[in-house]
Amino acid sequence: MSTLRLEHISYRYGAKTALDNVSFVLEQGRFCALLGLNGAGKSTLFSLLTRLLVTREGTIHVAGHDLAREPRAALGKIGVVFQQQTLELDLSVMQNLRYFAALQGLSGRNAQRSIDAALDRLGMRDRSGEKARALNGGHRRRMEIARALIHDPQVLLLDEATVGLDTAARQAITAHVHDLADNGLLVFWATHLVDEIRATDDVVVLHEGRVLAHDDAATLAGDGSLLDAFIRMTGPAPEGVTA
């Protein structure tokens, strides 16, 4: 069954078209990279998926729920890590997670069980008493991922989640989210960094608001590299895209 289905999505900021007739289907248990240059429409697409923006052009289904008609049910199936960090820095790791659980309407033993499981998955159980402010960038990101999983979503959205992190932290986080996909979650990962994508991952190439390609990374790369294939599709010298 498709976990995330977008059909003919378009969005405009005034006269400027940000997304133009975007359609694709993503399956459970997959890691899918949304690859695009800055300004390609990735953040707009994420805002539509999280209902920070809405459009009347096209439909989005999350785990079978129409986001426009059943927003609560659909949002309940989504965990989000935004590009911008959204932690309460004066709260501890555990307090942050409990606060978020409460915003989702969760408390008590079930919430605590989910929090503990999320912390274990990301190896942060021993740091749960530390203030978020005291964590480095990589651990803050891990904590945000742990937080996004508390309500047991089926889809994890990450918008440029490794921006500003060093190489080791980036690798650790991409490895974590790949593991999450292997364990049955649909991970939808917006990025402009090609090296975060593995050969078996799905890739949606977004350029100037349009989907240029949707296939697994190995097929898109063909005999060359994914970066070369991406450059062929989007034009010369894509600034900010690295191998």
Partner 1 sequence: MNGYLIALRAIVLREAMRFLNQRSRFLAALVRPLVWLVVFAAGFRAALGLSIIPPYQTYITYEVYIVPGLCGMIQLFNGMQSSLSLVYDQEMGSMRLLLTSRLPRSWLLFCKLLAGVAVSILQVYVFLAIAALFGITLPPMGYLYLFPALILTGLMLGALGLLISSTIKQLENFAGVMNFVIFPMFFMSTALYPLWKMAESSPFLRDLCALNPFTHAVELIRFALYEQFNGAALLWVLACFAVFMACSIIGYDPARGLMKRKRG
Q: Least distance in Å: CB of 45 to partner 1? A: 13
Read off the amino acid at residue 9.
I
Q: Based on CB atoms, which residue is closest to partner 1, 52 or 218?
A: 52
Q: Based on CB atoms, which residue is closest to partner 1, 105 or 164?
A: 105
Q: Based on CB atoms, which residue is closest to partner 1, 159 or 201?
A: 159
Q: Least distance in Å: CB of 140 to partner 1? A: 12
Q: Least distance in Å: CB of 178 to partner 1? A: 24
Q: Based on CB atoms, which residue is closest to partner 1, 103 or 175?
A: 103
Applying CB under 8 A, which residues contact partner 1?
13-14, 47, 50-54, 72-73, 75-76, 78, 80, 82, 84-88, 90, 98-100, 102-107, 151
Question: How would you label 51-69 residue by residue, b for 16+ Cβ within 10 Å and e otherwise?
Answer: eebebeebbbbbbebebee
How many angstroms separate the CA atoms of 71 and 58, rounded?
15
> Where do the H-state alpha helices sit in the chain?
42-49, 71-75, 93-103, 108-121, 137-148, 167-182, 217-221, 226-234
Q: Least distance in Å: CB of 116 to partner 1? A: 18
State both tokens at 113. 């069980």
